[in-house]
Amino acid sequence: MSENRNQTKAERALTSAPAGYSEHHTGYAIDLGDGDNPSTHFSVDFAKTPAFRWLERNAPRYSFELSFPPGNPQGVAYEPWHWRFTGDRESLETFFRVTRPVPNATR
């Protein structure tokens, strides 16, 4: 969204996720891009880049997973750039709580 270019990543995170699902607040989430394809930053087109293909193959080895794949139970728009670390007990517990569908969640 070009109108968001002047926002900081934190501001963008706040606006792109429903209340309660902004994983950046946990400190375990990160947004990634492909430096050779900057036009795909924060776009579903990032999924077509070599960087994304590398992530798909290698992220699990480093205990990262895609937070919002297509059809995620939270109902958050597909965000191929947004990954979360699940490599220790605290982070796993954080996301176990967060990823439970919440009835009447406001967006």
Tell me which residues are annotated as active site: 79
Q: Which stretch binds Zn ion (CB under 5 A): 35-43, 57-65, 81-89, 97-105?
A: 81-89
H or E, element range at 91: helix 89-98
Q: What is the DSSP string of 30-90?
A: EE---TT-GGGTTSGGGGGSHHHHHHHHHGGGGTEEESS-TT-TT-PPP-TTEEEE--SHH
Q: How far is the CB of 56 from Zn ion (least distance, A)?
A: 17
Residue nearest to Zn ion (CB): 82
Number of residues engaging Zn ion in binding (CB under 5 A): 2
CB atoms within 10 A of CB 13: 19
Q: How far is the CB of 13 from Zn ion (least distance, A)?
A: 5
Question: Contact between 31 and Zn ion (CB under 5 A)?
Answer: yes
Q: With CA atoms as reference, report the closest residue to 105 among 7, 18, 4.
A: 18
Rank residues 73 and 103 by Cβ distance to Zn ion and give the closer one. 73
Q: Which stretch binds Zn ion (CB under 5 A): 36-44, 46-54, 78-86, 93-101?
A: 78-86
Residues of this chain that interact with Zn ion (CB under 5 A) are: 31, 82
